[in-house]
Amino acid sequence: MSKLTGMTAPTLSALPPTISFTTELTRDIRATTGESVSVIAPFTGQTLHALPVSSVGDVADAYSRARLAQIGWARAGFAHRRAVLLRAHDLLLSRREALLDTLQTETGKTRGQAFEEIFQAAGVTRYNAVAARRVLGGESRRSGLPLMVTTRVRYRPKGVAGVITPWNFPLSLAAMDVVPALAAGCGVVQKADNQGALSILLLRRAFIDAGVPADLWAVVTGTGAVIGEAVTAGADYVCFTGSTPTGLRVGAQAASSLTGASLELGGKNPMIVLDDVDPHRAAAQAAYACFSSLGQLCVSIERIYVQRGVHEQFLREFVTVTRALIIGSALDYSTDVGSLTSQAQLTRVTEHVADAVAHGATVQAGGRARPDLGPYFFEPTILTGVTPGMLCYAGETFGPVVAVSVVDSEQEAILAANDSDFGLNASVLSGSARRGLRVAGSLEAGSVNVNEGYRGSFSAVDAPMGGVKDSGLGRRNGPEGLKRFVNPVTISRATGVLRLPATGVEFARLVTPMLLLARTLKAARRR
């Protein structure tokens, strides 16, 4: 039986006053259908607000307006874009309380984990504002014909990016795709998930108030079945974050028109606990890595492989730490874990746990819903004895459920961690940094954290983030994240110092010196 501490669930009357401006804020959505959908507050299960729904025509109109705005934005130059984005950075920080209230109320996460999103969005904004000129300002390259030709690479914005973001991290995931596109000189048409639309609109409002043209960043809403193809079809580059099945469809549609795409998809992220760890410290690290945002994070840990020498101690400490977590809906920093975001999430998590138990797994902590706290609360859950064939063995749960298994060696742990169709994030806990890094180098994942679960790589906005295998393609963040939104253009110029050969006689005269040049460059280790 779980001993998680519970807190009283709020009523709608207790929800933050910042949500009262939703009608005014949702006017920023490009939507002319006159239709709306009800968005539910996860903490209460009651209707939070009615969200306008966009049509295919609205998407087309958004792209038309964004293309016109993008011309002037690209011509404005790096210095102007840097100044605007840095003003947006400051507005995000100064408006943090409204953003925190909205994030919590829309997603059900704790205030601490909502603050992580704001801090991440600000960091992404600051990085791209400052780095864009250095990364995309152009550079000289060595010519294949020294003295005769000079060569330079310039970067041209692709145009308007189509950005499709999910509900679970609306600020962070929007910022990691939208902001580099803006910094590179592109426009954006963003399809916001209904459940995270208010947070995205608040984010966008800060950028508009900072000086981003309103038409440059359009937000549309609606189901993927209705407008998803229009968002992809109209884009000059596509950014998608979501499930692997949907990502495969988006990628195939983009490829059909030779449109580039970055896809961050599902994960079944492993953690390896080596036998030289401090069990208590490792348990605390594992608990946050598994249960932050109640596991509704693409890079959260769902599988833990523990070396036998420390397995019993680690599991005991892990259960103790997990049972001590404070679960609730307070709009302050008094809780450790919050709520699942929807009935669909609760249904999947419940099914995965019930299936595991029915097939012989043991619940070490958690394992049950908490309707006394709110409609979608579920206790952080530790399972042992998870075996192939169980729903949670290889399939992504995307909730507060982790399977702990014992292994006898590093090699067994590495093989088990890599035995997955996914490869998004992985973690290694070790008392030795050298040993941890050595094991990390053998893991098949787009990012690996040593003595951390996911926050080291997730917060490293100067480094690329993405997946391998079924976890996606392409990278966001870092120089790689900026270069997604530009086309490199090679510009070469004949110097006139020496004339390039044009006739057979001229080629014959230059064969010997050109062969000498090739051998000299090789001897000098020149490219």
| Residues carrying an active site annotation | 264, 298
Give the number of C-alpha atoms closer than 13 A to the C-alpha of residue 91, restricted to the C-beta side: 18
Strand spans (E) along 301-372: 301-307, 326-327, 362-365
406 phi, psi to nearest 5 deg = -100, 140
- Residue 437 and residue 51: Cα distance in Å, rounded? 47
- Residue 524 and residue 427: Cα distance in Å, rounded? 43
Residue showing tokens 């180098």:
441
Burial class (CB in 10 A: 0-12, 13-18, 19+), 225: exposed
- Residue 74 and residue 411: Cα distance in Å, rounded? 51
Number of DSSP helices (H) and strands (E) in the chain, helices first: 17, 22
Cα dist from 150 to 142, 459, 490, 497, whole Å: 7, 39, 11, 11
Give the number of C-alpha atoms closer than 13 A to the C-alpha of residue 254, restricted to the C-beta side: 25
Give the number of C-alpha atoms closer than 13 A to the C-alpha of residue 150, restricted to the C-beta side: 7
Q: Are 473 and 251 in contact (CB under 8 A)?
A: yes
Maximal C-alpha separation, the chain: 91
- Residue 45 and residue 48: Cα distance in Å, rounded? 9
Q: Are 188 and 178 in contact (CB under 8 A)?
A: yes
Q: Are 162 and 239 in contact (CB under 8 A)?
A: yes
- Per the document, the length of the chain is 527
488: part of which helix (H) or strand (E)?
Answer: strand 486-494
DSSP state of 276: T
- Residue 48 and residue 36: Cα distance in Å, rounded? 13
Give the number of C-alpha atoms closer than 13 A to the C-alpha of residue 13, restricted to the C-beta side: 0
Reduced to 3 states, what is the DSSP secondary structure of residue 167?
Answer: coil
